[in-house]
Amino acid sequence: MSRLRERGSYHFWFILPDAPEGPVLETVDLDAALSRDEYQRVFPPLEERLRRLQYALLEAEVPTIVAFEGWDAAGKGTVIQRLTRKLDPRAFQAWPGSPPSELERRYHFLWRYQVRLPEDGHMTLFDHSWYGRVLVDRVEKWVRRRDWEGAYAQINELERWLTDDGQVVVKLWFHISQKEQRRRLRKMEKDPAERWKVEKEDWRRNRRYDRWAEAAEDMLALTDTQAAPWTIVAATDARWTRVKVFRTLVERMQAALDRRQQAPASVSRTQMAEVATRESRHRRAKEDLARARTVAHDAGLPLEDPAFFVSSGDEK
């Protein structure tokens, strides 16, 4: 069911995408695993195919953006390390998550990611991305509620712009249970080579697992779009995790390459983006109208005029 928000002396009918029935993360099979034999059979071909696709997209000038999100100790960094072993370092960049600098805080929260977007044909890996606004900023209350609530629409618009431009946007959520996260943190603390990674903040976040899960559920529900869908990775088993991530990347990159190759050689990526933008706007307009009519009906508003802003009569 679409949601409604009321703001100030106006009723602001803020229409958000329909969320699935019930929590999504609770449906993830966290026991998913691969045997060593099965892993050795399927993983090496995926690695090689990914490398070939990197060169193919480089030649086709199609950029790829990968956002790694998920729980602390879920294995994001390990997968990124494995991923970069096969990629040509001349055509990819990896950006670790870090607090914004003093300069970055002076700009819109998306700015510091926009300036790190890949060149044509290159790949950028974000170990934590713009989704920090609706995750850590929300849970830790580092920004006002209206700021992180408004970020969902801003993020969707950014990703629409990127995909309309012909760029590939892959979003991965690494999911583990609270118990598994606690087990991994303890194991890391006992390992001299890993101990430095564990801080008091990690344990505090583990105790607040439910709050983080609520924020993650909202994020997945409100930013899972046709152009930039989420892939939830059951990250309990390391072999399963690697195969899932590599397979997702291969499928999305291959689909983007197929779309580019279907266009005539005389058609530039800019021209393709212009067509995609027009089609996207037309599709969004139809979707927004349908949602507006649904919301208007549920709210008892006139169906012939489902306004986004309806004066409450309090303003002067």
Chain segment 192-203, per-residue pLDDT in tens: 999 999 999 999
In this prediction, residue 262 has a pLDDT band, given cuts at 50, 70 and 90, of confident
Angle formed at CA 114 by CA 110 and CA 116, multiple of 5 degrees = 125
**What is the pLDDT at residue 47?**
96
pLDDT top residue among 169 and 277: 169
In this prediction, residue 86 has a pLDDT band, given cuts at 50, 70 and 90, of confident
Spatial separation of the C-alpha atoms in residues 309 and 127, rounded to whole Å: 38
Spatial separation of the C-alpha atoms in residues 76 and 183, rounded to whole Å: 16
User: Does the pLDDT value for residue 3 go beyond 50?
Assistant: no
**What is the pLDDT at residue 5?**
43
**What is the pLDDT at residue 263?**
72
Spatial separation of the C-alpha atoms in residues 97 and 68, rounded to whole Å: 10
Q: What is the pLDDT of residues 145-174, one digit of tens each?
A: 999 999 999 999 999 999 999 999 999 999
Q: Residue ranges of the domains in the chain?
A: 27-269
User: Does the pLDDT value for residue 6 go beyond 70?
Assistant: no
Mean pLDDT of 283-300: 68
Length of the chain: 316
Among 17-26, 219-228, 303-312, where is mean pLDDT lowest? 303-312
Rounded to two decimals, the pTM is 0.79
**What is the pLDDT at residue 267?**
57
Mean pLDDT of 15-26: 62
User: Does the pLDDT value for residue 204 go beyond 80?
Assistant: yes
Burial class (CB in 10 A: 0-12, 13-18, 19+), 204: exposed
**27-269: CATH number:** 3.40.50.300
Amino acid of residue 239: R
Q: What is the pLDDT of residues 96-150, one digit of tens each?
A: 988 899 999 999 999 999 999 999 999 999 999 999 999 999 999 999 999 999 9
Alpha-carbon torsion, ordered 71, 214, 1, 158, to 10 deg: -50
